[in-house]
């Protein structure tokens, strides 16, 4: 007797469904992509219970004849490629011809379609892969597909579904990306009878982004453009003030297809963080156009990953495009300097300096005769070879208390480092890290209640579903830390108060950074959240690298640093001081043995 047999089609479809149809969002993805391929300019998606009980995708595209509709539900039936060579140049989103039969094999499936000119359309009903009805029916122009009770006949799969909220969140996020990739299509998503997003479909990417992410986002968008031979990039990236806590606000589109790419994400991070050293991600809508034959989209059944023939070329193009967009025009980007130059940053630096002076404003302080600025040019003193730096580091690690006599400033290098001495040792102090430590300790001492300031103009801010959840769950804690927030709409909050030490002009940037640091922690405890908020606050309020300090200001900073419990590291764990003892100096100058 023979044990080997060929599987029947229904079984094959169910197996394929395992790859293509992972969850409601993947069904939506396939159906909407089909609608786009069918040249629709209006696509409406409706879901109930996260898509598990009901999903509907309606389009006004070209529709199908009865003959085509019957074929479409067969495995490997597609109108999009004819032979394997066509894979070299796939211009449509679909091409495998397995979505419809796979979806129909694990749900109650209903397809209605009508072509222009036809009086009647076609309706097909399939339950768990078995066609129960095919017939003529009155239908709207285009195609409507309903998928009910997903995985009703595969209970094991059903168990793997997340909560309805998570599933609808994914669908929401995905439709957002699709809408961004097609500003010329009007998208609408209805979730549990409520409209959750709608785009105008007038072909304007900026307008589309605003309709999706809130009108205020519009002001923070910088246009992005780049062209090099056969590569073209365009889209929008947000200003540093509109930093987001996760990459879910980033959409990459290659030749019209939404993709995930570690290389692209990394290139954006690198470019952005070269200019703005902080955590979080910019909002970005990035279109890339390149010869179809240099990419391979047939890597994965869900078609979300893409292989590039020359990944480093993409990387460089994205890096350059983002850098050019974010960098002020005409500036030859010097790392870190950008931050010190923007106007609003200047205000906050001044505010930070006031902090330095025990409540008195340094700016108004009768300054002692300023010592002649000893501005050492970068590179004229090579203080340490690699090896000696290591030994210096080990001294730093000992966490010894600074000598009480205190460090005396000698000068400032690169407007960033304070050079100091205390008689027998030489110190290099990172002014930003040092001030961060000082402020962090001061805020921590204010225990549970950080004083807050009312914002004159309340800010209405839009967040992602996930961010909103974090805020919702921690409203009280955030209030104790100086943030007055209240819900003002779906995924929207009104920001009314921020900690007193942060300039109000940076309130939005600030709350977004706090969220970014909160999101990095997985299920953070109250103590961790507090730590994250305090560290961000300290970082925001601290003087920046690139800011010129006068002698008195350096003196105050060093004194205050000396009074903290852990002067040698900033709240993020980076060193604040590098010390060269007289022994070490002697070693470096090969004086030992004399």
The residues of the shown chain that bind ligand ADP, judged by CB under 6 A, are: 30, 34-35, 38, 59, 61-64, 72, 77-80, 94-100, 143
Find all residues with CB under 8 Å of 348, minimum gap 6, and list them: 502, 503, 505, 506, 540, 541
Q: How far is the CB of 90 from ligand ADP (least distance, A)?
A: 10
Kindly tell me which of 38 and 139 has the beta carbon lying closer to ligand ADP.
38
Here the contacts of 215-222 (C-beta below 8 Å, separation 24 or greater) are 216/460, 216/461, 216/462, 217/242, 217/283, 217/462, 220/283, 221/283, 222/325, 222/326
Three-class SS of residue 29? helix
Kindly tell me which of 95 and 547 has the beta carbon lying closer to ligand ADP.
95
Kindly tell me which of 34 and 536 has the beta carbon lying closer to Mg ion.
34
Kindly tell me which of 138 and 451 has the beta carbon lying closer to ligand ADP.
138
- Return the residue of 12, 35, 64, 99 that touches Mg ion, per CB under 5 A: 99
Q: How far is the CB of 305 from Mg ion (least distance, A)?
A: 17
- Return the residue of 94, 121, 128, 524 that touches Mg ion, per CB under 5 A: 94
Which option in Mg ion, ligand ADP, none does residue 77 bind, with CB closer than 5 to 8 A by kind? ligand ADP
- Token reading at 96: 């495998």
Which option in ligand ADP, Mg ion, none does residue 388 bind, with CB closer than 5 to 8 A by kind? none
d(CA 98, CA 79): 12
- Token reading at 60: 């006004």
Task: Give yes or no for residue 280 binding Mg ion (CB under 5 A).
Answer: no
Nearest to 128 by CA among 6, 10, 9, 7: 10
Q: How far is the CB of 16 from ligand ADP (least distance, A)?
A: 10
State the Cα angle at 549 between 548 and 553, rounded to 5°. 165
Q: State which residue has the least CB distance to ligand ADP.
A: 94
Q: How far is the CB of 48 from ligand ADP (least distance, A)?
A: 20
Which option in ligand ADP, Mg ion, none does residue 319 bind, with CB closer than 5 to 8 A by kind? none
Which option in Mg ion, ligand ADP, none does residue 238 bind, with CB closer than 5 to 8 A by kind? none
Q: How far is the CB of 107 from ligand ADP (least distance, A)?
A: 14
3 state SS for 207-261: HHHHHHHCHHHHHHEEEEEEEECCEEEEEEEECHHHCECCHHHEEEEECCEEEEC
Kindly tell me which of 113 and 416 has the beta carbon lying closer to ligand ADP.
113
Find all residues with CB under 8 Å of 238, minimum gap 6, and list them: 217, 220, 221, 222, 244, 249, 282, 283, 284
Kindly tell me which of 298 and 444 has the beta carbon lying closer to ligand ADP.
298
Task: Give yes or no for residue 101 binding Mg ion (CB under 5 A).
Answer: no
Kindly tell me which of 182 and 432 has the beta carbon lying closer to Mg ion.
182
Three-class SS of residue 139? coil
Query: Could you list the residues that contact Mg ion (CB under 5 A)?
Result: 34, 94, 99
């Amino acid at each position: 007797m023979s044990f080997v047999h060929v599987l029947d089609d229904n079984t094959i479809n169910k197996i394929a469904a395992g790859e293509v149809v992972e969850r409601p969002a993947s069904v939506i993805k396939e159906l909407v992509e089909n609608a786009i391929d069918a040249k629709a300019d209006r696509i409406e998606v409706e879901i109930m219970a996260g898509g598990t009980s009901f999903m509907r995708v309606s389009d006004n595209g070209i529709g199908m004849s009865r003959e085509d509709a019957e074929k479409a539900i067969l495995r490997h039936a597609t109108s999009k490629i004819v032979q394997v060579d066509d894979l070299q140049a796939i211009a449509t989103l679909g091409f495998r011809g397995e979505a419809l039969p796979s979806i129909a094999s694990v749900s109650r499936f209903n397809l209605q379609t009508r072509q222009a000119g036809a009086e009647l359309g076609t309706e097909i009903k399939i339950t768990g892969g078995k066609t129960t009805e095919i017939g003529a029916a009155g239908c709207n122009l285009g195609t409507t597909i309903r998928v009910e009770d997903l995985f009703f006949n595969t209970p094991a799969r059903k168990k793997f579904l997340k909560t309805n909220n998570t599933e609808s969140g994914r669908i929401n996020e995905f439709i957002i990306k699709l809408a961004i990739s097609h500003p010329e299509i009007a998208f609408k998503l209805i979730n549990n009878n409520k409209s959750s997003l709608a785009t105008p479909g007038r072909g304007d990417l900026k307008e589309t982004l605003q309709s999706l992410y809130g009108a205020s986002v519009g002001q923070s968008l910088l246009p992005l453009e780049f062209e090099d031979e056969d590569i073209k990039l365009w889209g929008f990236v947000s200003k540093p003030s509109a930093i987001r806590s996760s990459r879910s606000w980033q959409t990459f589109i290659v030749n019209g297809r939404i993709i995930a790419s570690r290389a692209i994400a990394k290139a954006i991070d690198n470019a952005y963080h070269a200019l703005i050293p902080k955590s979080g991600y910019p909002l970005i809508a990035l279109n890339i156009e390149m010869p179809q034959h240099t990419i391979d989209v047939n890597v994965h059944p869900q078609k979300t990953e893409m292989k590039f023939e020359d990944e480093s070329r993409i990387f460089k193009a994205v890096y350059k495009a983002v850098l050019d967009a974010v960098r002020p025009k005409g500036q030859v980007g010097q790392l870190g300097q950008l931050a010190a130059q923007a106007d609003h940053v200047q205000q906050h630096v001044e505010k930070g300096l006031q902090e330095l002076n025990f409540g008195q404003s340094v700016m108004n302080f009768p300054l002692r005769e300023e010592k002649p600025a000893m501005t050492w040019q970068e590179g004229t003193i090579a203080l340490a070879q690699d090896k000696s730096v290591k030994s210096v580091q080990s001294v730093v690690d000992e966490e010894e208390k600074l000598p009480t006599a205190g460090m005396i400033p000698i000068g400032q290098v690169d407007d960033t480092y304070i050079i100091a001495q205390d008689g027998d040792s030489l110190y290099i102090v990172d002014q930003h890290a040092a001030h961060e430590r000082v402020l962090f300790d001061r805020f921590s001492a204010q225990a549970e209640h950080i004083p807050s300031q009312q914002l004159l103009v309340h800010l209405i801010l839009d967040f992602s579903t996930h961010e909103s959840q974090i805020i919702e769950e921690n409203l009280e804690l955030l209030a104790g830390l100086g943030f007055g927030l209240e819900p003002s709409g779906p995924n929207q909050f009104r920001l009314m108060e921020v900690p007193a030490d942060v300039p109000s002009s940076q309130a939005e940037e600030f709350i977004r950074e706090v969220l970014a640091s909160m999101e990095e922690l997985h299920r953070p405890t109250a103590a961790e959240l507090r730590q994250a908020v305090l560290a961000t606050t300290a970082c925001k309020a601290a003087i920046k690298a690139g800011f010129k300090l006068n002698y008195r200001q350096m003196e105050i900073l060093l004194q205050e640093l000396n009074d903290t419990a852990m002067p040698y590291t900033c709240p993020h764990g980076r060193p604040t001081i590098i010390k060269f003892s007289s022994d070490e100096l002697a070693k470096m100058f090969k004086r030992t043995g004399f």
